[in-house]
Amino acid sequence: MKRSFIIGVDLGGTNLKIGLLGSNYKIITKKVLSTRSFIKKEQLISAIINSIKALIRENRLSKKDLLGIGLGLPGPIDIKKGLVHFFPNIAGFKKVRLKRILEKRLGLPVFLDNDANLMALAEYRYGKARGFKNAVCLTLGTGVGGGIIINGILYRGSGFSAGEIGHIPLNEEGPLCNCGGRACLETYIGNKAVIKEAKKIFNRDISLEELSKLAREGDKRARLIWLRVAGRLGIALSGIINLLNPEVVVIGGGIAQAGKILFDKLRKTIKERAMMVQARQVKVLKAKLGNDAGLIGAGILVKEGSRL
């Protein structure tokens, strides 16, 4: 039988998604676990392995049916060595040869890449960045990740670590970041920062989903939070747009679900702050593939392997 199935894994600071992909990267089934329920590195790795095995078993597949496993990971990855440098938002991973560990325990080819790179790849092939030569893609989640398409190719940088949009400083001074830097965009508009700010303003725990809902219903405090997030993201993006002069910026992830209020303010800020030529040429779009972009990107990674 032809090896036509792929297992995609999308590890975020909040959720661990594991999906079975069929032809054309169609997601047949997926599981979502909570990343934080696994405290130690070994627990998280075992959870990934067990979930993959369960997915194979439950779908009555055998290893021979699988092309391989692709993982999107929230941090810098050496894709050649299959090495995780570290994760800014998940403790315990330092110089982990995850490809080797997983291949040994699963007996299947494993490919790793940065999660935002895979989102960019998926949006470039099948989503809103399709047809553009130069694109900047962002995922706004626990971390703020980015992937860059240059001349139609995913640009990974000299050490496969390009695209860290979340770690562009927004100010000279500011909050210390998990990456070791200071005043990084992520410290202002990462999920945690937004939820923390909302808690302060509403004087209770409030989720991003509720915050988006409240804003849509016209709640002034919720709207103000989103306007501040969008303003800050817009300033950081203005710098990236001046630097890279892309045709499109595609934005996905939890925070992007805030929708119109976020995108309106974002476009307005870019118009005000970026250089005229670059600002006029860029489209700012909401990602098409949503939560599935990471899994689809992982599928592309497996199928196209080293040709990427």
Q: Binding residues for its own copies, per CB under 8 A? A: 76, 85-86, 132-134, 146, 148, 150-151, 153, 155-165, 167-172, 179-182, 231-232, 235-236, 238-240, 242-247, 272-278, 281-282
The minimum distance between CB 283 and its own copies, in angstroms, equals 10
Is the Cβ of residue 17 or residue 156 nearer to its own copies in the bound state? 156
Q: Which residue has the tokens 């990934």?
A: 48
Nearer to its own copies, 198 or 235 (CB): 235
Tokens 């950081």 sit on residue = 236
CB 259 within 8 A of CB 222: no
> Which residues in 253-279 are b (16+ Cβ under 10 Å) and which e?
bbbbbbeebbbebbbebbeebbeeebb
Considering the complex, what minimum distance in angstroms separates the CB of residue 134 from its own copies? 5
Q: Which of 147, 119, 165 is nearest to 12 (CA)?
A: 119
Count CB-CB contacts under 10 A for residue 152: 11
User: Of the two residues 109 and 175, which places its CB atom closer to its own copies in the complex?
Assistant: 175
Helix (H) or strand (E) holding 251: strand 248-252
Query: Can you name the residues that pair with 155 across neighbouring β-strands?
Result: 148
- Least CB distance to its own copies at residue 190 (A): 15
For residue 269, the minimal CB distance to its own copies (Å) is: 10
Of 31, 33, 103, the closest CA to residue 70 belongs to: 103
Between strands 5-11 and 66-73, the pairing is: parallel
Rank residues 20 and 285 by Cβ distance to its own copies and give the closer one.
285
Q: Closest CB to its own copies among 185 and 261? A: 185
| Interatomic CA distance for residues 62 and 182, integer angstroms | 48
* Tokens, residue 192: 């945690």
Write out the two tokens for 12: 């975020």
- Select 173 or 217, whichever has its Cβ closest to its own copies: 173
Residue 137 CA to chain centroid, in angstroms? 9
**Is the CB of 86 or the CB of 202 nearer to its own copies?**
86
Q: How far is the CB of 272 from its own copies (least distance, A)?
A: 8
User: d(Cα 27, Cα 295) in Å, to the nearest integer?
Assistant: 8
**Nearest distance from residue 111's CB to its own copies, in Å?**
19
Nearest approach, Cβ of residue 193 and its own copies (Å): 14
Q: Which is nearer to its own copies, 240 or 301 (CB)?
A: 240
DSSP secondary structure code for residue 204 in this structure: S
**8 A C-beta contact, residue 145 and residue 116:** yes
